[in-house]
Amino acid sequence: MSNNQAISPLMYKMMPWIAAIAFFMQSLDSSILNTALPAMAQDLNESPLNMQSAVISYALTVALFIPVSGFLADRFGTRNIFVFAVFLFSAGSLMCALSQSLVMLDTARVIQGIGGSMMVPVSRLALIKSFKRSEFLAALNASTIPGLIGPVIGPVVGGYLVEMASWHWIFLINIPIGVIGIIAGWKLLPNLKGEELHFDAVGIFFVAFSVISITLGLEFVNAEFNFYYSLGLFVMGIVLLNLYILHAKTSAHPIFPLSLFHIRTFAIGISGNLMSRLGISAAPFLVPLLLQVAFGYSAIDAGLILMPMALGSLLTKTLVESLLRRFGYRKILMINTVIVSFIIMAISLLSPNTPIIFVCLLLFCLGAANSLQFTSMNSITLADLPPNLTSSGNSFMAVNQQLAISFGIAIGAVLVRLFSYDISVANADVTHAFRMSFIVLGMVTFLSSFIFHRLHPEDGKNLTIKNARQTTTKGKA
């Protein structure tokens, strides 16, 4: 790594906030979008159960372009790429607002996704390169806490804009925030570059088309294509993935070195991240549809009911470090994953007659458990990476997260269809379909807890002990 720019105290202070702007834009966009999907579907003459492509196209694009973001950041600098990414995300938002069909919307979401693929990972990469390991968890946590305001206000703002104006405004709201991000990033983000610059075009090709094949396989199942088309795409994806492994063994500079998986905490964190996020990622997509399509809530009411989930996530962020210091990563991840799984399955018990207070309490608990899960998984995944693998490890984790979101949403949509006798949203069986889907997703999440059993009790202490010592020292001072 080449820190070719002096980092001022002001930059150290503001970097987590700049990263928070990127996280805020992304989280606001996704939380607003989920609430607005039924209204968008009506305006675009689509079924609400077909609107998952608007979410998946963004997440998949982010996953495909994240590997390039690390190379571009090392080549052109973190500040330059961050500013360009925020601009591209804002431009894509404008294109989404101008869309008049689902195809146009999906295309605009791809443009948004290219910006999003660099916006958050590059800002997080700047944190990794700038802060010591003993300070990294605190910096990462500080960058996500302000960003969690997005999910808090997103559902309500989305519902309000849909009913009082139009769904187009859920994208237009990104533009002024993007302007702030561009100005702040240009003035206060250091332009850190990498010393060794290698672009693994062959590796990116194998990884990208493997991801596309597997995701389209899931989408074709949902679109009721011939089963053999979906199976063929899955097989193609696995073959391409194995070709990448062969390529990585012989390439001098693969985009994702296989040596990453020799680091035990990284390997466990990545696999646990992927599997646990399948159920966790599907819930934010399905819950707004359950409330509006199956239970008949308005967009504003659904947004208000979703607020406790974001509030629970926000409040838990302030407790994560102390919980990890007291109980350790292994115990937290094993127990919390089980808690998340039971909460997801408990959503299947909801009905139109369920008291609102119970629904809000359940979603609050889901948000709180998710927040603890995400921070714990992310930090333990990056905890033991050596400096020479920091960029590739950070990029791979971000790719893994976006793939889990894509797969989770696609699986959620497939499950709703499979459990429906009729895909018509007017059919009474749609409520049963949602319930069965949440049960299956909860079971998948439960199984992922066994992955974290492989962690050692002392794993992650290099993060928690140093932070505890730093806190003690400050207290004495």
DSSP one-letter string for 397-452 = HHHHHHHHHHHHHHHHHHHHHHT-SS--TTSTHHHHHHHHHHHHHHHHHHHTHHHH
pLDDT of the residue at 148: 66
More confident residue, 4 or 96: 96
**DSSP at 454:** T
Question: pLDDT confidence of 217, banded at 50, 70, 90?
Answer: confident
Question: pLDDT confidence of 147, banded at 50, 70, 90?
Answer: low
Using alpha carbons only, what angle is made at residue 379 by residues 378 and 382, rounded to the nearest 5 degrees? 90
Among the listed residues 105, 85, 87, the one whose alpha carbon sits nearest the alpha carbon of residue 95: 105
Helix (H, G, I), strand (E, B) or coil at 2: strand
What Å distances lie between residue 267 and 66, 201, 288, 409, 454, CA to CA?
A: 19, 24, 33, 24, 10
Which residues, at least 6 apart from 284, have a Cβ–Cβ distance to it below 8 Å? 30, 31, 34, 309
Tens digit of each residue's pLDDT (9 = 90 or more) over 47-83: 787 788 888 888 888 888 877 887 788 888 888 999 9
Complete DSSP assignment for 164-211: HS-TTHHHHTHHHHHHHHHHHHHHHS---B-S-----HHHHHHHHHHH
Question: pLDDT confidence of 216, banded at 50, 70, 90?
Answer: confident
Tens digit of each residue's pLDDT (9 = 90 or more) over 73-117: 888 888 899 999 999 999 999 999 999 888 899 999 999 999 988
Buried b (16+ CB within 10 A) or exposed e, 332-352: bbbebbbbbbebbbbbbebee
For the chain, what are the domain ranges? 9-200+253-476, 201-252
**Chain centroid, CA 281 distance in Å:** 8
pLDDT of the residue at 16: 80
Q: For the residues 157-169, what does the mean pLDDT come to?
A: 87
User: What CATH number should be reported for the domain whose range is 9-200+253-476?
Assistant: 1.20.1250.20
Helix%, strand%, coil% for the chain, nearest 5: 80, 0, 20
Q: For the residues 289-317, what does the mean pLDDT come to?
A: 88
Tens digit of each residue's pLDDT (9 = 90 or more) over 452-476: 999 888 877 766 545 444 433 333 3
Mean of the per-residue pLDDT values of the chain: 83
pLDDT of residue 347 exceeding 90: yes
Question: pLDDT confidence of 425, banded at 50, 70, 90?
Answer: very low
For residues 169, 173, 178, 183, the Cα torsion angle rounded to the nearest 10 degrees is 130
Question: pLDDT confidence of 9, banded at 50, 70, 90?
Answer: confident
